[in-house]
Amino acid sequence: MKQFLITGGAGFIGSALVRYLINETDHRVLVVDKLSYAGNLASLASVSQNTRFAYEQVDICDRPELDRVLKHYKPDCIMHLAAESHVDRSIDGPIAFIETNIVGTYQLLEAARSYWNAMADERKKSFIFHHISTDEVFGDLHDEASFFTETTPYAPSSPYSATKASSDHLVRAWLRTYGLPVVVTNCSNNYGPCHFPEKLIPLTIINALAGKALPVYGNGQQVRDWLYVEDHARALYAVVNSGKVGENYNIGGHNERKNIEVIETICALLEELAADRKPAGLTNYRDLITYVADRPGHDQRYAIDASKIARELGWTPQETFESGLRKTVIWYLDNPNWWQAILDDRYHGERLGLSQ
């Protein structure tokens, strides 16, 4: 039994990882999350009463609090998911991304280094700092036959991806300069239960049910590789459990889809699963699709080569895009209280934007 410390554990991917660790392993889990707009303890409700679960409301930029938490809980590994992650928000207000993704990662690395240096030798050998990042640090792909690999040069396009690239570089520097045992993963677009409502897939589901426009950036031809979040959680556990210190692992779903195809598939699923919830006067959910001006610096295509993690750690995704998307739509249909509370409490009726 190990003690895991999960930063950003009340977020979308973080909460899926926490639920996996509590439900599928015997490990203890500490969630460290400041509960920004995207943090939601309701996503952890199913495991919050477990005796192996603990939560601390801490900002990763707060070094004294990080030191306190590390000293008290004595984690065997740190899995760092806390980040500002919404591209549109980074365009409107990049400073928050610089503070959390760069300064926060620095503070966490320094706290972890101090904690690790004070460990007894045996525990020191097994400690690992796992930094979870994104494929957006690689920029975009113009060749339809090419894929992001672990050695693809960084070329971030947005303030979000630039700050994530910065945090990746910091993590690797702390390995080379100070010897801190780290591993880095870069994942493709996630989707699934408990996804924050301003992201493409949940936004499309929720807007469709409300009879609102389904906005599509530009011509909708942008391609993303979609990874079901529970598959990602399994991959993260495989890496922290069996990955090699100093290595990078790309994690992808092998599910490339154009944005417009994603929206059209959701509409078709809603026609099948929620025809009786269609707003009055609406003939087909697809009629709500609306094209809007493209956003600045919008990357055209992301695609992950995940052969390394399959070859070395034996991980492959269990869900196809069709099976995972069906599960996702059903979850949102079955859990309106989860997303409606976010709309009511966080937005006070304001119309959500979109992030693709």
Residue 166 domain flag: yes
Residue 344 domain flag: no
String of b and e for 96-133 (b: at least 16 CB within 10 Å)?
ebbebbbbbbbbbbbbbbebbeeeeeeeeeebbbbbbb
Count of alpha carbons within 13 angstroms of residue 288, beta-carbon side: 28
Question: Is residue 298's pLDDT more than 90?
Answer: no
Residue 118 domain flag: yes
Domain of 313? 3-196+225-257+300-321
| Residue 62 annotated among the catalytic residues of the structure | no
| Residue 136 annotated among the catalytic residues of the structure | yes
Q: Which residue, among 195, 176, 186, has the nearest Cα to 250 in the 3D structure?
A: 186
Location of structure tokens 């207000």 = 93
Residue 55 domain flag: yes
Q: Domain with 13 in it: what CATH number?
A: 3.40.50.720
Given 136, 198, 264, 299, the catalytic residue: 136
The mean-pLDDT minimum among 64-78, 295-309, 315-329 falls in 295-309
Q: What pLDDT, on a 0 to 100 scale, did the predictor assign at position 355?
A: 42
The span from the CA of 272 to the CA of 264, in Å, is: 13
Report pLDDT digits (tens) over 28-70.
999 999 999 889 999 999 999 999 999 999 999 999 999 999 9
Residue 356 domain flag: no
Burial category of 311 from C-beta neighbours within 10 Å (exposed 0-12, middle 13-18, buried 19 and up) = exposed
Count of alpha carbons within 13 angstroms of residue 224, beta-carbon side: 24
How is residue 283 annotated by DSSP?
Answer: S
| Contact assessment for residue 163 and residue 97, using Cβ atoms and an 8 Å cutoff | yes
Q: What pLDDT, on a 0 to 100 scale, did the predictor assign at position 142?
A: 81
Residue 294 domain flag: no
Q: Is 65 helix (H, G, I), strand (E, B) or coil?
A: helix
Location of structure tokens 């998307």 = 325
The two tokens of residue 187 are 């994942």
Residue type for 343, please? L
pLDDT confidence band for 346 (50 / 70 / 90): low
Query: H helices within the chain, ranges in order?
Result: 12-24, 63-73, 87-92, 95-97, 105-117, 121-126, 159-178, 200-210, 229-242, 259-273, 307-313, 321-334, 336-342
Average pLDDT, the chain: 94
Q: What pLDDT, on a 0 to 100 scale, did the predictor assign at position 52?
A: 98
Q: At what angle do helices 105-117 and 63-73 cross, to 10 degrees?
A: 40
Q: What pLDDT, on a 0 to 100 scale, did the predictor assign at position 353?
A: 41
The two tokens of residue 335 are 């859990």
pLDDT confidence band for 88 (50 / 70 / 90): confident
| Contact assessment for residue 147 and residue 304, using Cβ atoms and an 8 Å cutoff | yes
Residue 9 domain flag: yes
Given 135, 140, 198, 256, the catalytic residue: 135
pLDDT confidence band for 127 (50 / 70 / 90): very high
Total structural domains within the chain:
1
Residue 204 domain flag: no
CA-CA-CA-CA torsion sign (161, 157, 198, 302) = negative
| Residue 249 annotated among the catalytic residues of the structure | no
pLDDT confidence band for 349 (50 / 70 / 90): very low
Question: Is residue 156's pLDDT more than 90?
Answer: yes
Given 20, 160, 249, 302, the catalytic residue: 160
